[in-house]
Amino acid sequence: MLVYFLRRLGQSLIAIIVMAILVFIGVYAIGNPVDILINPEATQREIDATMQRLGLDRPLWEQFFIYFGNLLQGDFGRSFVYGQPAMEIILQRLPATLELAFVALVIAIVFGIPLGVIAGLKPDTVLGKSIMGGSILGFSLPNFWQGLMLILIFAVLLGWLPAGGRGPTTEVLGIRVSFLTWEGLRHLILPAVNLALFKMALVIRLARAGTREVLLLDYVKFARAKGLSERRVITVHVLKNIMIPVVTVLGLELGSMIAFAVVTETVFSWPGMGKLLIDSINLLDRPVIVGYVMLTVFIFVFINLTVDLVYSGLDPRVRAGMRNE
Amino acid sequence: MSINRSIRGALMPATFAVFAAMSASAAADTLTIGLSAEPTSADPHYHNLGPNNALAKHIFSALIEQDAQQLLAPGLAETWEPLDDTTWEIGLREGVSFSNGDPFTARDVVYTVCRIPTVPDAPSPFTLYTNAIAGMEIVDDHTIRITTDGPAPLLPNHLSTFTIISASASGAEDEVAFDAEGCSGLGDTPESQAFTDPDFAIGTGPYVLSSFVRGDRIVLERNPDYWGEEGAWEEIVLRPITNPGARVAALLAGDVDMIENPPTQDIERIESSGFKVSSGLSNRVIYIALDQGEAPTPGISGDANPLQDAKVREALAKAINREAIRDRIMLGYSEPAGELLPPPMFGTNADREAIPFDEAAARELLAEAGYEDGFQITLGTPNDRYINDGQIAQAVAQMWSRIGVQTDVDAKTFSAFISDRNGFAFSAFLAGWGAGTGEMSSPLGALVATRNPDAGLGGTNFARHSNSQMDDLLIEALQTVDEEAREALLQEASRVVMDSYGIIPIHYELTTWAMRDDLDYEARADQYTLAYEVVPAN
Amino acid sequence: MSDQTLPAQKPRGAESPLRRIIAEFFESRTAAVGLVIFALVAFVALFAPWISPQNPYDLSQLDIMDGTLPPGSESFTIGTYWLGTDVQGRDMLSAIMYGLRMSLIVAGTATLLALAIGIATGTAAAYFGGWVDTLIMRIVDMQLSFPAILIALILLAILGKGVDKVIIALVIVQWAYYARTVRGNALVERQRDYISAAQCLSLGHGRVMFRHLLPNCMPPLIVVATVQIAQAIALEATLSFLGVGVPVTEPSLGLLIANGYSYLLSGRYWISFFPGIALLITIVAINLVGDQLRDVLNPRLRK
């Protein structure tokens, strides 16, 4: 067990380091940030002085060692644009992204499971078929186009909800959140639904498959035969059984939601990390790009590692698999 | 009162009623503006960039102000006179105090000029405007003599570009001096981040900083002790909403009272929804530069470089239908250009019309130059920098193709465009130039003067245009302190360039603001949004 | 989602006659419709230069005076603009046809290249086993644990814009799926007698791998490839929308949508709405075909 854990940890560390090196070299080799940031009226003298101040006049390998030297001391460098520590800027944006991802996750579960169960219970009805048709659409519609259509319908044509931005925020335990005020919630609905739709399609499929499987099991057949109400059979037996795969998959998908938030945040001008990444790519704000990648890689490695460990604790088959490895 | 504090109040039920009553009365005195770009710092000397400079002017004041047409006007300085070619005497306004109560004196001015080169990690420093200053002599608390390296007729323009911070609040010693040995008495100069703290951002401007939440909002409160005319609003909230559609939606929904740069295609809808749009000529020209440096040139097949022939350049200039671009692409929000700066700004020729559209003449000129069958060319352009930039380039490509010059458009995001352009990868590119100083030497010196990094000339002349007659006129103008003589030289220099079609202007951008119809804002040529100049309409 | 498409299972598809597969495929009417639609889409994309009313990228055919006309407007040159025009006066119907072409070329090329790399690495991993297997599968696992969009975004931030760059990014994102699928199936096949026999005859590694192992891994690969091509189209569209994809002058459907985005609020919906519909139809059609193929080619689901 310990050996397995250490080996996984080692692999994760290698993953982080490899990603960091690749991204650093890639990002630092392109363009010249000073060209973009400096006032066009600046003379060559100012440009040279600025490059020197930002350390951009040094050869790539030297910049690389300086960066990683600082990194070992927990310093991710300063944003070229904001002059603040890059990690500080990214972490300022993290709550907005996490709030969006969590709310989207809740929407996906709250709507996805009942729909999936219905589709599983009544696979051959019009309702069941339309739910499954809807889930194919959910898979097929590119995320960003969904977002545009949501804006077109609910913001432009109907005028019910704002087209973008975050709206007012409330501070709770030092973190700014939107969902506590009505105005903030209104701003949150469209982007959260946009981010949720794809996962909702996934949940519907999982819940439907789970339901169908469970209904064929003996004890459920028995419960039905015993005359338990359909309602009770569903709530107790079916839900209990489909929750495990659904929750597991969604745990893994939370990470991919943070990544997909890049798209949603761009469409809805949601001031999260993803929007920051796109802005930083356009401004060649290298420390922020590398910092973002390091942070997301870290989050992913952490999620994967946790899921693996929890699994190995729970599932005897996985434990056996580890011995074979 | 800040939104922040008020929401925290809302969370506590006991104070809720009080809060509601307060916010109702405060709302009328609060102006909320949706910005198209976020200031990157509250430090006025960190980043020489439009949004930062506009924000700085709320909290701090400059020695010399620029009015809506960028003509110079007294600010913290009431007078500025050249004593000789290299000495200027600046008379400071008396009775001005900083928002912490300290009086404003000559020491603060010297401190500010000395601090500018020390700003750590500044991505675009203001040293550009202070480099010419060789020394500053404090004659008395309200008089300064500035000596320069050589004649510096643009010194007043340069002094209008940066704002003055408090020496004492920034930690300077009692004696601050700038003499032949350089600056002394600065103490530890502050980092840019410090200015995000309202207690540190001490200025003499019409407003004081109340809070700065990155990515969300900047809140300003009225400075009761401001030396000039009091701003109309108790509180100003600046919200960066960079997505144009979201910005328009925020205005229409009433989330904000006013927005910067509504997209041209949405203006009709904004106006029909009962909002007002204010627009005016900016100092920004959109131009096409044609590589005249070498043959062959990238993007044009063959060994020759047709663009070195003035007739070809004239043909390309005349093939562009500027009215059509204004009407169809800019939807009326541009003005066809015949120079690099719109009249009546300093150094422009008022009698110079936009280059006329004449397809027949263009074809004839091409034939005269020996290109009756045209040639192939690639037009580089950014597609996210200037108003409708990518669309303008495609329209120009249409028009050039029609006279036989087969044109491909190479549109890129600005960062990619600029690294290609600075590597001379384009034989033709579309770009824009905003004259920060508001006078003709700015575009001439940067875009068409022969490239000379040591003299600070031709820095953006990636077309490698070179005309010694123009260079001589420009350099003489830059040495001439007398205003009238300088303006005549600049006018002549501009005429010389335009007559040889050294660069092809397309149009001047009109800058637009959209707002509630009970507000008024006079459009500014420098494109700054100055909330304190927004007034209730009569 | 494609992770769940296939259990590593011994397929029988290859042994069964093709005719049976075709017959079973057409048992589902939706899948048949999907196939027909996809064939149409592919036809339009392939022959766009010959059947579109206008060459939308020959600038001398355009006129900005025809800009942003609503659907159904008349023009002097090409008849009716059935789907309207964009701000340059470009016929949207023609632009969509060319955009479809670009989208399919990018996604198709990327899928084929990724398939080739995936097959090579996957077979090698299964055939050689040992450290080769460990190394390849570690890389595959590592890569599959990150979302495709993130990897592609980072790659394009590094590589820059361009059709070739997008294809490279899509290949790098996709190859791991194929490698895993091939390895899973090849491992099962490797245990079989005919491979041992081939090895006993000391046929070359390459010959054993490609002549004997590979054909038996094809059915699941086809299923994964169908799902992946739909994913590739959607991913390319997303990247172009974010501004890191194909260049503006050769727009794919995603870029057409992005270009029209800024006109959405002002009511000129057609510039981004119709390309979106075209994208949606294409992806749904491919997904319908993929779903049915999976059922037909997967013996476990056969009744």
Q: Residue A318 has what pLDDT?
A: 47
- Do the domain assignments include residue B45? no
Does residue B28 surpass a pLDDT of 70? no
Same domain for B369 and B447? Answer: yes
How many angstroms separate the CA of residue B343 from the nearest CA in chain C?
28
CATH number at residue A202: 1.10.3720.10
- φ and ψ of B110, to 5 deg: -60, -45
Pick the range with the lowest mean pLDDT from A146-155, A279-288, B405-414, C293-302.
C293-302
Does residue B135 surpass a pLDDT of 60? yes
Same domain for B298 and B260? Answer: no
Same domain for B72 and B146? Answer: yes
CATH number at residue B145: 3.90.76.10
Mean pLDDT of the C175-202 span: 77
ipTM of the complex: 0.79
Mean pLDDT taken over chain B: 89
- Residues of chain B in contact with residue A176, where contact means CB-CB under 8 angstroms, are 213, 216
* C-beta atoms of A23 and C264 within 8 A: no
Confidence class of residue B257 from pLDDT cuts 50, 70 and 90?
A: very high
Confidence class of residue C298 from pLDDT cuts 50, 70 and 90?
A: low
Q: Which of A149, A259, A282 sits opposite C147 (nearest CB)?
A: A259
* C-beta atoms of B410 and C60 within 8 A: no
Q: Residue C249 has what pLDDT?
A: 73
How many angstroms separate the CA of residue B206 from the nearest CA in chain A?
25
What chains are in contact with B, requiring at least 3 Cβ pairs below 8 Å?
A: A, C
Same domain for B393 and B341? Answer: yes
Mean pLDDT of the C253-277 span: 85
Q: Which residue has the higher pLDDT, A320 or C256?
A: C256
Q: Residue B27 has what pLDDT?
A: 44
How many angstroms separate the CA of residue C190 from the nearest CA in chain A?
19
Q: Residue C220 has what pLDDT?
A: 78
- Do the domain assignments include residue B43? no
Q: Which two tokens stand for residue C16?
A: 């069964």
Same domain for B412 and B297? Answer: yes
Q: Residue C194 has what pLDDT?
A: 67
Does residue B247 surpass a pLDDT of 90? no
pTM value?
0.84
Q: Among residues 39-68 of chain A, which lie with CB inside 8 Å of chain B? A: 39-46, 49-50, 53-54
Q: Which of B7, B191, B249 sits opposite A162 (nearest CB)?
A: B249
Q: Residue C87 has what pLDDT?
A: 84
Same domain for B104 and B142? Answer: yes
Interface residue of A37, A39, A282 to substitute, partner B, most B CBs within 10 Å: A39
How many angstroms separate the CA of residue C168 from the nearest CA in chain A?
15
On whether any CB of chain C is under 8 Å from the CB of B324, the answer is yes
Q: Among residues 254-273 of chain A, which lie with CB inside 8 Å of chain B? A: 268-269, 271
Mean pLDDT of the C149-174 span: 84
- Residues of chain A in contact with residue B446, where contact means CB-CB under 8 angstroms, are 40-41
Interface residue of A38, A43, A84 to substitute, partner B, most B CBs within 10 Å: A43
Mean pLDDT of the B388-397 span: 93
- Residues of chain C in contact with residue B408, where contact means CB-CB under 8 angstroms, are 249
- Residues of chain A in contact with residue B7, where contact means CB-CB under 8 angstroms, are 168-171, 181
Q: Could you say which of B160, B176, B195 is where a domain stops?
A: B195
- Do the domain assignments include residue B300? yes
**Percent of all residues in chain C with a pLDDT value above 70, rounded to a whole number:** 83
Q: Residue A74 has what pLDDT?
A: 80
Same domain for B83 and B210? Answer: no
Confidence class of residue B46 from pLDDT cuts 50, 70 and 90?
A: very high
How many angstroms separate the CA of residue C6 from the nearest CA in chain A?
15
User: Could you read off the pLDDT of C225-234 as tens digits, one per residue?
Assistant: 888 888 888 8
Q: What is the CATH number of domain C45-301?
A: 1.10.3720.10
What chains are in contact with C, requiring at least 3 Cβ pairs below 8 Å?
A: A, B
User: Could you read off the pLDDT of C74-120 as tens digits, one per residue?
Assistant: 877 677 888 888 888 889 999 999 999 999 999 999 999 999 999 88
Measured torsion, CA atoms of residues A46, A50, A52, A56, in degrees rounded to the nearest 10:
-130
Q: Which of C65, C67, C265 sits opposite B245 (nearest CB)?
A: C265
Same domain for B371 and B433? Answer: yes
Q: Whose CA is closest to B442, among B284, B291, B282, B281?
A: B284
Same domain for B170 and B249? Answer: no
- Residues of chain C in contact with residue A140, where contact means CB-CB under 8 angstroms, are 230, 234, 280, 283-284, 287
- Report CA-CA distances (Å) from A265 to A166, A200, B516: 10, 19, 28
Q: Which of C138, C160, C241 sits opposite A144 (nearest CB)?
A: C241
Q: Residue B315 has what pLDDT?
A: 96
Which structural domain, as residue segments, surrounds residue B296? 281-510
On whether any CB of chain C is under 8 Å from the CB of B293, the answer is no
Residue A99 CA to residue A187 CA, distance in Å, equals 12
Mean pLDDT by 10 residues, chain A (325 residues): 75 76 77 84 84 85 85 85 89 88 89 87 83 83 84 81 75 72 84 90 84 75 73 73 72 76 85 86 86 82 73 54 43
CATH number at residue B270: 3.40.190.10
Q: Residue B516 has what pLDDT?
A: 95
Which structural domain, as residue segments, surrounds residue A165? 92-283
Measured torsion, CA atoms of residues C274, C277, C283, C287, in degrees rounded to the nearest 10:
-160
Residue A36 CA to residue B384 CA, distance in Å, equals 13
* C-beta atoms of B268 and C266 within 8 A: yes
Q: Which of A143, A255, A256 sits opposite C238 (nearest CB)?
A: A143
Same domain for B27 and B158? Answer: no
How many angstroms separate the CA of residue A193 from the nearest CA in chain B?
17
- Do the domain assignments include residue A168? yes
Residue B327 CA to residue B265 CA, distance in Å, equals 11
User: Could you read off the pLDDT of A97-151 as tens digits, one per residue?
Assistant: 888 988 998 898 889 888 988 888 887 788 888 888 888 888 788 888 888 888 8
Question: Helix/strand/coil (H, E, C) string of chain A?
Answer: CHHHHHHHHHHHHHHHHHHHHHHHHHHHHCCCHHHHHCCCCCCHHHHHHHHHHCCCCCCHHHHHHHHHHHHHCCCCCECCCCCCEHHHHHHHHHHHHHHHHHHHHHHHHHHHHHHHHHHHHCCCCHHHHHHHHHHHHHHHCCHHHHHHHHHHHHHHHCCCCCCCCCCCCEEECCEEECCCCHHHHHHHHHHHHHHHHHHHHHHHHHHHHHHHHHHHCHHHHHHHHCCCCHHHHHHHHHHHHHHHHHHHHHHHHHHHHHHHHHHHHHHHCCCCHHHHHHHHHHHCCHHHHHHHHHHHHHHHHHHHHHHHHHHHHHCHHHHHHHHHC
Please count the structural domains in chain A.
1
Mean pLDDT of the B4-26 span: 38
Same domain for B222 and B338? Answer: no
CB atoms within 10 A of CB A178: 24
- Do the domain assignments include residue A258? yes
* C-beta atoms of B324 and C262 within 8 A: no
Confidence class of residue C4 from pLDDT cuts 50, 70 and 90?
A: very low
Same domain for B397 and B261? Answer: no
- Residues of chain C in contact with residue B395, where contact means CB-CB under 8 angstroms, are 64, 88
* C-beta atoms of B128 and A33 within 8 A: no
